[in-house]
């Protein structure tokens, strides 16, 4: 039976309902992960959970140790990963509270440690990243969203920015021209590191605010927190259905 790992983003620093059997403080060649890897039972299944930004939420997107996080999950026995991401909506369909299961990604980040293949190598390694998200996991997430009655899109392009600041109107306009449907700050290099470790990976994105220029109002943290509070219950139901399935 597949051992799933859940990476919780903003709004999901802990997984209510997880019966914890172990908190693993794992050492990795890349330093310490964001938080202990929690092993436990959720929806009747063994599951691993890692808070991407730490618990409490304290690590900004550009300082997350993505390599340590992915390495630790693999070392703990993860066989597939579902990543939960809070994002901004660019496409008109991506309103606040909408879910997206992206099928593609564009990386706008810089300066992040984005590969395991560097340093004193015996040979150069390239991984195929044509399709960054695992098709089977994406299908499972889409089916769970439909069963839960959640408004969602089964496809989308995730644009990953550096953060921690939000984007300018001009940057979002550029991203829209590039084809991006949603914008976040943590989707990369997480996805490619999972691919390098041969871990199937998919993203469950919850839209928590309109992107810059998509509303006349200022984007406030209070607005984002309200959307997170309203959406995380649905996220947990979707995750439970995926694991039970």
CA distances to 20, 157, 227 from 92, rounded to whole Å, are: 40, 13, 17
- The binding site for phosphate comprises 10, 52-53, 186
- Give 204-217 pLDDT, tens digit per residue: 999 999 999 998 77
Q: Is residue 226 part of a domain?
A: yes
| Residue whose C-alpha is closest to residue 189's, from 100, 80, 67 | 67
Nearest residue to 152 (alpha-carbon basis) of 107, 101, 225:
101
pTM: 0.93
pLDDT of the residue at 224? 81
Residues 6+ apart with CB under 8 A from 130: none
Instruction: Work out the mean pLDDT of the chain and round it to a whole number.
Output: 92
With respect to residue 121, please indicate whether it lies within any of the assigned structural domains. Answer: no
- Band the pLDDT of 104: cuts 50, 70, 90: very high
CATH classification of the domain holding 145: 3.40.50.1580
CB count within 10 Å of CB 216 equals 6
**Mean per-residue pLDDT for 122-131?**
91
pLDDT level of residue 225 (50, 70, 90 thresholds): confident
Residue 120 lies in a domain: no
Length of the chain: 245
Torsion of CA 98, 103, 108, 112, to 10 degrees: 100
- Point out the annotated binding site: 10, 52-53, 185-186, 209-211
Range of the domain at 219: 4-111+129-244
For 217, other C-beta atoms within 10 Å of its C-beta total 8
Three-state secondary structure of 83-103? EEEEEEECCCCCCCCCEECCC
Tokens of residue 170, six digits? 């001009």
Residue 190 lies in a domain: yes
Residue 12 lies in a domain: yes
Is the N-terminal amide bond of 189 cis, ω within 30° of 0? yes
Question: Is 54 domain-assigned?
Answer: yes
Whether 16 shows a pLDDT value over 80: the answer reads no
Domain total of the chain: 1
Backbone phi, then psi, for 242, in 5-degree steps?
Answer: -60, -45
Residue 58 and residue 147: Cα distance in Å, rounded? Answer: 34
Q: Per the annotation, where are the binding residues for substrate?
A: 185, 209-211
Residue with token string 């390098």: 196
138-181: per-residue pLDDT in tens? Answer: 999 999 999 999 999 999 999 999 999 999 999 999 999 999 99
116 phi and psi angles, rounded to 5 deg: -85, -15
Does residue 117 lie in a domain region?
no
**Residue 208 falls inside a structural domain:** yes
pLDDT tier, 115 (very low <50, low <70, confident <90, very high otherwise): very high
Percent residues over pLDDT 70 in the chain: 97
Question: What is the pLDDT, as a whole number, of residue 14?
Answer: 60
């Amino acid at each position: 039976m597949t051992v799933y790992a859940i990476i919780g983003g903003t709004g999901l620093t802990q997984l209510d309902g997880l019966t914890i059997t172990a908190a693993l403080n794992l050492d990795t060649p890349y330093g310490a992960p964001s938080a202990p890897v929690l092993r436990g039972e959720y929806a009747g299944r063994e599951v691993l959970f890692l808070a991407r930004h730490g618990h409490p939420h304290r690590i900004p997107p550009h300082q997350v140790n993505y390599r340590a996080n992915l390495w630790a999950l693999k070392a703990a026995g993860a066989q597939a990963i579902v990543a939960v991401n809070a994002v901004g909506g660019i496409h008109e369909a991506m309103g606040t509270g909408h879910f997206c299961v992206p099928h593609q990604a564009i990386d706008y980040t810089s300066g992040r440690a984005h590969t395991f293949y560097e340093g004193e190598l015996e040979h150069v390694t390239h991984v195929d990243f044509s399709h960054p998200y695992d098709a089977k996991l994406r299908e499972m997430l889409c089916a769970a969203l439909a069963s839960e009655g959640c408004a969602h899109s089964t496809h989308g392009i995730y644009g990953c920015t550096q953060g921690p600041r939000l984007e300018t109107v001009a940057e979002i306009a550029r991203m829209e021209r590039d084809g991006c449907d949603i914008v976040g700050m943590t989707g990369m290099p997480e996805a490619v590191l999972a691919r390098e470790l041969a871990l199937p990976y998919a993203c469950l994105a919850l839209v928590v605010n309109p992107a810059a220029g998509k509303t006349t109002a200022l984007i406030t943290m209070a607005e984002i927190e309200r959307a997170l509070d309203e959406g995380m219950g649905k996220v947990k139901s979707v995750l439970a259905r995926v694991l039970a399935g």
